[in-house]
Amino acid sequence: MAYRIFGSEVFHPDLRCHARLLPPRPFVGPRTLRFMQRGADWLPDRVETRVEQVTPTSSVRIHRPPEGTGPSPALLWIHGGGFVMGAARQDDQRCAELARSADIIVAAVDYRLAPQHPYPAGLQDCYDAFTWLVSQPDIDRTRIAVGGASAGGGLAAAVALMARDRGDHQPALQLLAYPMLDDRTAARPDPHPGVRRLWDNKANHLAWHAYLRKTPGSDGVSALAAPARAANLAGLPPAWVGAATLDLLLDEAVDYARRLQQSGVPCTVETVHGAFHGFDVLRTANVARRFQASQTHVLRQALRP
């Protein structure tokens, strides 16, 4: 069931009020990017965490379950923000909930941001955090998932590709929430600009251009920068892909999931009808809570069967 508002726009009932209040265009732009990047510095510490320095350029915020004995399963969580903004701290509450409900250690990585640090800087920081997790004595190296939302989902997919291509230790699961996978989306006109919330193609183009240091859709973009460009997806870890039907990134997420399945990779797709990009940050909405509960469920199935 969905309600029609703003003429032809269709939003999930749980999100219709939010859709009315949210601006049709996101705040990120060339003039506001610096301000948005600094916004993470003002976020309060809402939960107790421990910060570990992984490399001189990256660190992780550690969230632990209430109790535990022996080596624990773990999730490397990568925050969103279009490669150009955000911080691990923004997901503290969500990561603490995942640690508690899935009974795992969650390590949220702070990585370098574009345009100051374009590809491959952020990806290398995320990969270093993954290999650091593999080496920790209190973590079960056979049960480590990689996951993230939006750009974090794209980086998680790239970490899995990098591990496969290098022949390094493989993640046990990819958890990809409305992942940002394909720079070519930014090069095409948006067929439904009126339904976008929190992320539109203008912001998408700015973010990809900052990350790649070239025009989105150009030739020669690495598959590790834009995983949708990977010619071969065989041999990757099982995946859960979450998507929203009013999200600009819907098609690239669903297409990536389809290609994983065609390549023999077990992949579950959860598509939320009437939802927009980043809808699950609206924690009061039932549909957001169900979407997050699905992630917890798949993590428990994969890491604590």
Distance, in Å, from the CA atom of 253 to the CA atom of 271, rounded to the nearest integer, reads 10
Q: Is 277 a catalytic residue?
A: yes
CA-to-CA separations, 239 to 5, 73, 103, in angstroms, rounded: 34, 17, 19
- DSSP element (H, E) containing 106: strand 105-110
Q: Is 63 a catalytic residue?
A: no
Catalytic member of 117, 150, 200, 209: 150
Q: Is 59 a catalytic residue?
A: no
Please give the structure tokens belonging to residue 184: 């070519």
Residue 85 contacts residue 79 (beta carbons within 8 Å)? no
Catalytic member of 58, 110, 277, 280: 277
Describe the crossing of helices 92-102 and 286-303 by its angle, rounded to 10 degrees.
Answer: 50
Sign of CA dihedral 279, 285, 287, 291: positive
DSSP secondary structure letter of residue 246: T
For residue 67, what are the contacts with CB-CB under 8 A and spacing of at least 6? none
CA-to-CA separations, 10 to 2, 24, 201, 243, 275, in angstroms, rounded: 6, 14, 19, 16, 9
Q: What is the CA radius of gyration of the chain?
A: 18
Please give the structure tokens belonging to residue 110: 């702070």
Catalytic member of 14, 91, 247, 280: 247
Active site residues: 150, 247, 277
